[in-house]
Structure 1
Amino acid sequence: MAVVGRFSHTLRSVLSAQTRQLSAAAAHGDQGAKTWKLLSFLVALPGVGVCMLNTFLKMQHHSHEQPEFIPYTHLRIRSKRFPWGDGNKTLFHNSHVNALPDGYEHHE
């Protein structure tokens, strides 16, 4: 039991010290706001730009051919019809990428 008492005492002292540090940081003005503003402009925005550039370059080199259709028995199971359209296509069906249970749609 003495171990639990010492642990709770140590935990309380650590938490109260952290609370005092946070209160002191808030009393010294808005230095935290300046830090977050700098981090936003110098880290976050360039990071978003790099991600956008990466996506754009990957789309330039992306193959526009349909993947080979392999009729696996556990994929594209239709136990009942969809309540929209012809009942065989998913809600966000893309005829170029999404295959139906019997293969891709052929557009000529």
Structure 2
Amino acid sequence: MSQFWERYLRPSVSEVSRSLNLFGGKATGSLLWKRVTFLVATPIVALCMINAYSSIDAEKKPQQPFVQYEYMRRRNKRFPWGNGERSLFHNRNVNALSEGYEV
């Protein structure tokens, strides 16, 4: 293991530390994570937010017609809330009951 460390890992760690010093100054732990947060995490969060907002318009599709298949929407046991037909996170516009859509 020590030969592996000396031959492969130590040169790469020293190379990384030299490249971090190019950003300016000595890269301490808190400074490193501050840079990672602002230079890496913030753009990734912004791109994910743009993706989420752009996909909202793409989801506005017409509702597919309800087809009652015998193997779908089976209720072997009633749910313990409400009338027993709706799941806990039921959405009237998307989730169909065994008879069809509510809307």
Scaled by the length of structure 2, the TM-score of the pair is 0.68
Label 1:14 to 1:40 Cα distance change in 2 as closer, same or farther (>3 A): farther
Q: Which AA in structure 1 matches 2:59?
A: H
Pick one of 94, 101, 104 that aligns with 2:101.
104
Q: Distance in 2 between matches of 1:14 and 1:91?
A: 57
Give the CA deviation at 1:64. Answer: 4.8
Residue matched to 1:62: 59
Higher mean alpha-carbon deviation, 86-95 vs 67-76, is at: 67-76
Tell whether the 8 Å contact from 1:67 to 1:97 is kept in structure 2 after alignment. no
Pairwise CA distance, 1:30: 5.5
Q: Which runs of 5+ in 1 are unaligned?
A: 1-10
| Residue of 16, 30, 35 corresponding to 1:33 | 30
Point out 4+ residue stretches in structure 1 off by more than 4 angstroms: 14-18
Overall identity of the aligned pairs, in %: 41
Please give the alpha-carbon distance, in whole angstroms, between the structure 1 residues aligned to 2:3 and 2:92: 60
Structure 2, unaligned runs of 5 or more:
18-25
Q: 2:85 aligns with which of 75, 88, 107?
A: 88
The two structures, once aligned, show a CA RMSD in angstroms of 2.5
Tell me the matched-pair count. 88
